[in-house]
Structure 1
Amino acid sequence: MSADRHGLRPASSFGTAAGAYAEHRPDYAAAAVRWTLRTAPGPRVLDLGAGTGKLTATLLDPAVVPGAEVVAVEPDPAMLAELRRGLPGARALAGSAESIPLPDGSVDAVLAGNALHWFDLAVAGPEIARVLAPAGILAGLWNLLDDDVAWVAGLADVSGSAAVGPRDTPTAWRRATTDLLPPAGDAWAGRAERAEFPHGQRRTAESLVETLATRAGMLVMPEADRAAATRRIRAYLADQPETAHGEFTLPMRTGVLRVRRT
């Protein structure tokens, strides 16, 4: 996608809203993280493209992943600063998927939360394979709005593709990620595995508006268009019995793609 009139590109837009991202974006379903790491050959985990640490925090939770040795790598300075502020005990490094600041074979799993689609996998694929131990795993995790629920499907229609994009609902995610992971070959064994896990986030109408405002498409929109989209979303949520009064649980799923290094 091209840059907007302010010069921002979607992949590099999140730093402009790092605080809002940290406050409003959801974590990841614990069951999804456990499934992702179930076949990892060891406890060393890299959260790549870690953002403000939404996935890092789950990986560091001993109730979810006992004994994990976690390192987070993030290219955007503002996002990395939020991660370090929110998780001061985490090992967090500046770097990118295309240039990972870790030695060869130093991790057993590489996870990317809502980030894998931003990687240049022609470059990042070999780089990820380099830092993975033999039989290590690469996995992407995405939080999806569950549009099997009628009001969520209506929200997706009203919000438009800038707020609810090509990987933001289960059906769209399955379609958009079909060929995303590196193909089987010298570094990767077999076909990617796919799984989905129920998830949810406690929201109010206003905090859900703020969540959608952190989407890349919204961040790079011209201000007038973003304001119009925000008005549509607010009006829709005010008209739905599920969302008009106080807190509610936003129905979600965490989708996972997983592949193993040879």
Structure 2
Amino acid sequence: MSSTSPIHDAARRGYTNASDSYQRGRPEYPDALGDWLSRMLGAGEGSRVVDLGAGTGKFTKLLARTGATLTAIEPVDAMRARLSESLPKVRALAGTAEAMPLADGEADIVVCAQAFHWFANGQALREIHRVLRRGGRLGLVWNVRDESREWVAAITEIITPYEGDAPRFYKGTWKQPFEGQRLFGPLQRAVFPHSHVGPFEQVVVDRILSVSFIAALPEAERQSVAERLRELKDRFAELREPTIAFPYVTEAWLTERLSAA
């Protein structure tokens, strides 16, 4: 990640190119996560919540149901425009995790859904600490493909050779900034089963074409990936059904802001 551009190139190019497939293909979040947001993070009427790396607003919609006052921070213009179109009442601002256009202590809660691995560094953690009030909470959420299913593992085999140096949740490097720091308390994990139900083209093809490093490929290569995904129907009868359920596990992590600067 260069000093002149805080956004990884795969994210900048991929998410600019793929805002349509991102909106169509990305799964929503399990209903149980709404209870986690309320009970564990404290999101609700009167709370001030920042959705950091908000994308097209998939997670912002779930946050809006809590009744909290929301601010969405998203650096990619195409994604932020989608969010503003679908959620016009949410304040949507251009910014990055390392530089949020917010005052000190402005937020009770910061949440990052499908995003923190992109900016897991000390500078971002210090900026989140600055924006949170004392005792505020940071929530990190990911929908993770359940690769115990053979056809899901086959999808991973198709796309992994393209990932290059793009940050990924499964590598676990996103935890490194929390090691040996005094800004936040211990990470606490909750897990929720989830599935994305719909036609193959939406929940598989659109979903995978919205992956940052796939979306950033030249169009001919993207279409080659799409065709390889469609060929999985020849191997797995389940994928030939009119509606399929793509299995996920939703991981939700929280930590509390400490008073140390």
TM-score range normalised by the length of the shorter chain:
0.7 to 0.9
**Per-residue deviation, 1:120:** 5.3
**Per-residue deviation, 1:242:** 1.3
| 1: CA distance, partners of 2:36 / 2:256 | 14
**Per-residue deviation, 1:244:** 0.7
Match of 1:201 in 2: 196
Q: Structure 2 stretches of 5 or more lacking a match?
A: 3-7
TM-score, length of structure 1 as denominator length: 0.84
| 2: CA distance, partners of 1:44 / 1:20 | 30
Match of 1:182 in 2: 178
**Aligned ranges 1:51-62 → 2 under 5 Å:** 51-61=55-65
3-state SS of 1:109 partner: strand
Change (3 A) 1:101 1:94: same
| Equivalent of residue 224 in structure 2, options 217, 228, 239 | 228
Match of 2:242 in 1: 246
3-state SS of 1:38 partner: helix
Aligned 8 A contact 1:144 1:167 in 2: no
Aligned 8 A contact 1:143 1:254 in 2: yes
Name the amino acid aligned to 2:216: V
Match of 2:143 in 1: 143
Aligned 8 A contact 2:109 2:137 in 1: yes
Match of 2:19 in 1: 18
Q: Are 2:94 and 1:98 equivalent residues in the alignment?
A: no
| 2: CA distance, partners of 1:199 / 1:60 | 20
Worse-matched range after superposition: 142-151 or 27-36: 27-36
Number of positions where the alignment pairs a residue of Structure 1 with one of Structure 2: 246
| 2: CA distance, partners of 1:178 / 1:131 | 20
**Aligned ranges 1:35-74 → 2 under 5 Å:** 35-40=36-41, 43-61=47-65, 65=66, 67-74=67-74
Higher helix share: 2
Name the amino acid aligned to 1:243: L
Name the amino acid aligned to 1:60: A
**Per-residue deviation, 1:84:** 0.5
**Per-residue deviation, 1:198:** 0.8
| 1: CA distance, partners of 2:189 / 2:156 | 23
3-state SS of 1:232 partner: helix
3-state SS of 1:179 partner: helix
Deviations 1:55-104 (A, max 9, x none): 1011112xxx3x32221111111111010011122221121111111111
3-state SS of 1:156 partner: helix
Match of 1:131 in 2: 131
Aligned 8 A contact 2:187 2:255 in 1: yes
TM-score, length of structure 2 as denominator length: 0.84
3-state SS of 1:212 partner: helix
3-state SS of 2:239 partner: coil
Match of 2:118 in 1: 118
Match of 2:5 in 1: none
| 2: CA distance, partners of 1:195 / 1:54 | 20
| 2: CA distance, partners of 1:120 / 1:144 | 18
Deviations 1:133-164 (A, max 9, x none): 1111112211111112232223322443447x
**Per-residue deviation, 1:225:** 3.2
Q: Are 2:253 and 1:257 equivalent residues in the alignment?
A: yes
3-state SS of 1:88 partner: coil
Name the amino acid aligned to 1:24: G
Change (3 A) 1:160 1:204: farther
Deviations 1:162-212 (A, max 9, x none): 47x8746xxxx2x424624533533212x2122221111123222221110
Change (3 A) 1:211 1:112: same
| 2: CA distance, partners of 1:239 / 1:161 | 21
Change (3 A) 1:184 1:34: farther
Aligned 8 A contact 1:196 1:254 in 2: yes
Aligned residues: CA RMSD: 2.4
| 2: CA distance, partners of 1:242 / 1:177 | 34
Change (3 A) 1:242 1:177: farther
